Chains A and B, each alone.
Chain A
Amino acid sequence: MDPGRNYQANHPLTEQEKKQQQFRLFQESLPKVSQLAFQMLLNEIVPQAMAVENELNDLNSLEQTGDRTSAVEGERKGEGEAENIPINDLSLQEKEVSSYNTNLKIQPSHKLIMELAELEDEEKYNNILKRLRNIGFEMGKKMCEMLVFSNNPNLHFKEMDLLLIMKFICRDVWKQLYEKPIDNLKTNHRGTFYLIDYNYKPIQAFSLSEEAPAKELKMVEPFLEIPLGLIKGVLASLGYSPEEVICISSFVDKPADDRPKYGFPKGVSFHVQVNMKPK
């Protein structure tokens, strides 16, 4: 019945295959949550980074004009008035308990993404991208630890050169996160790598109009920052300091072969440049 078991009966597994199988079984035995919940959390990080930037700016400008806490209070009162609620009628305590979450002005995420794409202030834009890369970096560092301690057979510490590490990122790290390995890895064997993913998972549900105008691609761009940080994070925890690694992303056309074309019309290329030997 089970083809795997059949195979095992007829051909004894090699040591490497056994390790691979054990690793797979171990991965399957770990507790799980829904992939969709994870995906939504991951994608929601981008608009929230914009919202954080907005809020910090507001706080800063308030700080300049006066006392910060009272200014925030004032802002809230302003909102209350807009909804025609007589603030004085609500006792403070009641407000604390019953409307713990109604004071909030929540901006919908699609508006935030739009705002981010149209942002002209380069400093703010870079702040936001940096914030996203930081999150990715932390994720990468911890993920690497997680995969190291799971007896991953693809990770040897003896004679592990940069190419093997990049392969580890393409295969194991990508698979954990996006349920598929990267499609293509190119290198010049001198520290330059191109990791090409034709169906980068978090953006597959996004749609662009036929001509894919530059503006829409600009809206998708921030979603590539988390993996950039992530690659750096993995490299950092394996001994390549982040100052020595340059990571940039770009869109690439999908190959003109007979693979099914669905989802986002562009592929993504991550360009990694490493300028050092490991410590």
Chain B
Amino acid sequence: MSRSRSSTTTQSRSLKVTGEEIWKNKTEKINTELFALTYGALVAQLFEDYDNDYSLINERLFSMGYNIGVRLIEDFLARTALPRCEDMVRTSEVISKCAFKIFLNITPHVTNWSNNKDSFSLIIEDNPLSEFVELPMNAKKQIWYSNVLCGVLKGALEMVQLDCDVWFVADILKGDPQTELKIKLNKILKDEIPIGDD
């Protein structure tokens, strides 16, 4: 028991080291402000296009993220060379310590595990997307400004056979005390075997 626990802690520490090492030495970097303002310009255009129909904007951001996620995962796997995760606990650590670190240089905090360990929350501090952002009063209630992140996670997880629901439960931009993103596992997709090949 104690041995298994210590092995998990070394594992998670090494994930942290891997993430930091890749961020430091193997990642081309770009100014966060530039990233934030690009995203801002994009969302502003959506506000205009959809005439402030917030649910459509949320969906559009989500599907945009999904399309990014399905391609981003390739780069992530190539960069980290991580094997498949055996459970959601491990998955959560890879997401927070490696994925977020490598792409956005933040390490969200994992919390709020459900009893059967199939859903958890990521607490995102210093969200680079929503830097310098203030939402207009009428948009505040309905818009999930950083919804693109949910899409990215959904798309990327689907590519590693994890069918998940990903959504925001709270956002600082809405006046919540913290930005919280929920990931819930629906099912593990089966590996397809070619017909007649068993």
Contacts and interface: CB of A to CB of B under 8 A. Distances in A.
A41 B104 contact: no
Nearest to B62: A101
A30 B105 CA distance: 12
Contact of B103 (A30, A36, A99, A102): A36
Nearest to B59: A104
Contact of B33 (A51, A109, A131, A146): A146
A55 B56 contact: yes
A47 B68 CA distance: 11
B97 interface: no
A48 B151 CA distance: 13
B41 A135 contact: yes
B99 to A, nearest CB: 10
Contacts of A100: 165, 167
Contacts of B45: 131, 134-135, 138
B128 A33 contact: yes
Interface in B33-52: 33-35, 37-42, 44-46, 48-50
A104 B158 CA distance: 15
A70 interface: no
B109 interface: no
A61 to B, nearest CB: 15
Interface residues of B, number: 47
B32 interface: yes
> Per DSSP, are chain A's interface residues mostly helix, strand or loop, or mixed?
helix
Contacts of A98: 165
A31 interface: yes
B138 to A, nearest CB: 18
A222 to B, nearest CB: 14
Interface stretch (B5-13, B23-31, B84-92): B23-31
B123 interface: no
Interface residues of A, number: 43
B120 interface: no
Nearest to B34: A176
A21 to B, nearest CB: 18
A104 B35 contact: no
Interface in A68-127: 98-102, 104, 106-109
Contacts of B33: 30-31, 146
B105 A33 contact: yes
B170 interface: no
Interface string A133-149: 01110110011001000
Contact of B67 (A38, A47, A56, A143): A47
Contacts of A101: 62, 150-151, 154, 165-167
Nearest to B57: A52
Contact of A37 (B37, B62, B63, B72): B72
A27 interface: yes
Contacts of B62: 101, 104
Nearest to B38: A139
A267 B104 CA distance: 30
B20 to A, nearest CB: 13
Best-surrounded residue of B34, B41, B60 (most CB of chain A within 10 A): B41
Interface string B45-81: 1101110000010011011101110111001000000
Interface of B: 23, 27-35, 37-42, 44-46, 48-50, 56, 59-60, 62-64, 66-68, 70-72, 75, 102-105, 128, 148, 150-151, 154, 165-167
5 contacts: A32-B29, A32-B32, A33-B104, A38-B30, A56-B50
Given A33-B104, A37-B72, 13 more contacts: A30-B32, A30-B33, A33-B30, A36-B72, A36-B75, A36-B103, A52-B50, A101-B165, A108-B70, A131-B45, A139-B38, A176-B34, A179-B30
